[in-house]
Amino acid sequence: MMKNILLACTLLFAGLLHAQNIKIEGLVTFEGEPIPETFITIKTEKVYHATTNDSGYFMVEIPENVTQYTITWEHSQFKAVTKSFQYSADAPLNLQFTEQQEEVLSGIVIDQTNKNIRRFADKTVVDVEKLTVLNAGSVFDAVNKLPGVLVTANGQIAHNGKLATIFLDGEPTGMSGDQLTNFLKNLPANTVKSIEIIDRPGAKYSATFNGTIINVITKSAKIEGISGSITQENIVNSRIKNNTSAQIMFKKNKLSWNMNTGYTHHEGNTNSLNEFSYNSNGVAVKARENYWNNGWYQNYYLRNNWQYKITDLANLTFKYNYNHTYSKPKSYGTMFNAFGDTELTYKQQTANRSNNNMHELQFIYAQKLDTIGTNFTLTSNTEFQNNTNSNQLFVEGENVSTILADNNFVYSQTRADFETPFKAANGTLSLGAHYTHSVSGNNGSYIWEQARTYIPYDFKYTNKAAYASVSGKIHSLMISAGVRLENLTYQSETAVDSLDLKQDFTNLFPTVSLKYNLMSGVYLSAGYSKRMNLPGAQAFNPNITSQNSLLVANAGNPNLKPQISHNMNATLTVFDYIYFNYNLSKMPNQNVVFYEIADNGTLESKSNNIENGFSQSFNMGLPIPYAMFTKGIKNMINDRNGLNVDELSFTYLNAGYFKTTYDEVIPDRFQRGAFYIFTYSQFYLGNNTRAFVTYYNMFKGVMNLYELNKPAQNLNISVNKKFMDNKLTLNVGVDNVLNTDGFDVNVFGNGLQMRTETLNERRMFKVGLTFNFGSFKDQNQQLFPQGTPPFKTN
């Protein structure tokens, strides 16, 4: 008997040693389209889970031999399906949804398949469509409420203390400065599906995109029919501002079309005060400039996206985008200048004109090479932009200077990207080659009492790159790593040999992102990336581009270099909504804008190279719910997957500290750190009515070489009400409630003392109406991050 028992145990042990895991894999589709974020449940004697990636692919490794199993596939937009299968090795499954849900939930259910904030190893995805606090205003408002995002004192968008790049549907917008800000304010947030905060851009993205990429993903039609929305908003204070926009989505058989269009007219007044002093050739110069500024601009935009389904495995997409901006701001000022013992007081006026037209064409051919997630994409993108500018300065009614400039910009890019499941790492392998070329031609003229000649110049830019990246999941550790080989060539050509520049730069740019599951709902992620940043063509312009007063002008610097940075970060997240983030960047070379004293004794604002930059920041986000604690903290956490965020009252608190240091060129007073807080609150009033309060406060400190003399703060309040089964939305509110929107700062200048105080537009009252028509339900927006593998538990 004992021998028989030992023999049986031996055979059993040998069988266990020789048992092999089996893999169940497949693709989930609806009407031939892959469905990302489908939740897969596989039942044998145990239960296993997976989530499809952006190609609709999943794979589960089961540590047992089975002959039959049951699969359930679920998605918030479709009726769940359950089927039984006989196991067959090397036979991928083709799982299909057949019916859509009759209604899309009006609220957000926070579960494994439907969260309004999801954090991955390399990015954070925010669902704008389902969260009223984000989709009630403009895209600019929505971006400004994202975790870690704030608008700097000079109007730029930053994330975790570093400037961010804005993408729209996976592509750079081609706009910057006021043009980009105004466009985002014109684009209604109700046309947006989601926003990706890519704080660790992988090897697929050009190394020239330094800092965070904020990718705004608009809605698109994926089912038969026509749907859309119309929005009208008016803002009133001393002037009336008008925003009108519309979105139309259409799908018929194999053709789908998505169109966004809008018109904006804006007029607004601000006040500015400049005080500065410096020495020029041994003469003490002091000035006080008091401005009243009238901003005036109009904007039209049209965005079209046509997609044709050639076969079940191939799609052809054509995009045409147009944007036109016309602005004619004016300023009126009382100026006081002192040159040694000579004092001068006078009245000044500036009159500017800017006319910008941008056309963009894009072709995308996407080919599925198999049914388990292997894809090839070929993309061609071309952008044409023309900008004409006129800057005039009048002193006591006499024309002192006129600067005319005409800029023509052509940008083209061709990309080939390949992606396939990488079974060895239970993840994805990506390969690609990119080629980018742009030419900026600049011509103009001066009418100026100074002896100046406008220098026509061309700026050419070429970028050639190849990349490889792999992502995978090993137990509780998610890994994404890649390397990009990039060759950057840029040159400026002028009629003055000393101003010509040509640089050729080749280097490797690695990226690594890690995410580890510490416990249920708690993750620790970390990453490293090497990036570079080259300023836009206008930063190299050797000419004076505008003269703001007799003493102050803007100019370019033809001797700039690429900015290199080594970036490290770590983030702790709890239930995706709470996060603590630390960033550290070493910048051997950095380009920053500040004032310098010109040879003729005036001041010029332009970019300059600074070496040995070092920045660090700490940021946190924390939701504070109201009227929920009667359930008890333990029960609230246990029931978090059943919470309807859209019907809660809460405050989401963003707070942070950032500091940047430089070499001895910058005084210590401009290298101090700064704290900020930004909160947005939702108060659910019942009956589909919500009140929103946003508050921002930047405490005294330094941000981008701006030293705040007093805290900068702003408060906005609005009420949102939905009618007619959510088809009609009314939004009323007040911006700049406290009349404190602006800043009082000391501005760094090489060899000068300068203070600027700006008070932006006074309190503004706004009312907006949005009407949604059709029965559109979007089930196929690709929210999964690039290369994120399926999720598996045992």
Q: How sure is the predictor about 330, in pLDDT bands with cuts at 50, 70 and 90? A: very high
Q: pLDDT tens digit string along 469-528?
A: 998 878 788 888 999 999 999 998 888 877 788 889 899 999 999 989 898 778 999 999
pLDDT of residue 101: 59
- Give 71-86 as a DSSP string: EEEEETTEEEEEEEEE
Taking residues 432-440, what's their average pLDDT? 95
pLDDT of residue 644: 67
Considering the four listed CATH numbers 3.30.70.2190, 3.40.50.1860, 2.60.40.10, 1.10.8.640, the one that applies to the domain covering 18-96 is 2.60.40.10
pLDDT of residue 617: 92
**198-234 residues labelled b (16+ CB within 10 A) or e (exposed):** bbbbbbbbbbbbbbbbbbbbbbbbbbeeebbbebebe
Taking residues 308-319, what's their average pLDDT? 91
To the nearest 10°, report the CA torsion of 124, 128, 132, 135: 130
In this predicted structure, the answer to whether residue 420 has a pLDDT above a threshold of 70 is yes
Least confident of 192-196, 436-440, 621-625: 621-625
Taking residues 673-683, what's their average pLDDT? 91
pLDDT of residue 627: 52
Cα separation, 21 vs 692, whole angstroms: 52
Q: pLDDT tens digit string along 94-110?
A: 898 877 654 332 222 22
Residue ranges per structural domain of the chain: 18-96, 117-354+369-773
In 3-state terms the chain splits into helix, strand, coil percentages (rounded to 5) of 10, 65, 30
pLDDT of residue 173: 81
CB atoms near residue 766 (< 10 Å): 19
pLDDT of residue 254: 87
For the chain, first and last CA: distance in Å? 37
This prediction has a pTM of 0.81
In this predicted structure, the answer to whether residue 636 has a pLDDT above a threshold of 70 is no
Phi and psi, residue 93, nearest 5° = -85, 150
Residue 539 DSSP code: G
pLDDT of residue 154: 62
- The residue among 694, 658, 697 whose CA lies nearest residue 677 is 697
**Tokens standing for residue 740:** 């404190």
Residue 322 DSSP code: E
- Give 176-235 as a DSSP string: -HHHHHHHHHHSBGGGEEEEEEESS--TTS-TT--S-EEEEEE----SSEEEEEEEEEEE
The rounded mean pLDDT for the chain is 84
The β-bridge relationship of strands 93-96 and 33-34 is unpaired
Q: Could you tell me which CATH class the domain 117-354+369-773 is placed in? A: mainly beta
In this predicted structure, the answer to whether residue 64 has a pLDDT above a threshold of 80 is no
Q: pLDDT tens digit string along 260-308?
A: 999 999 999 999 999 999 998 889 999 999 999 999 999 999 999 999 9
Taking residues 49-62, what's their average pLDDT? 81
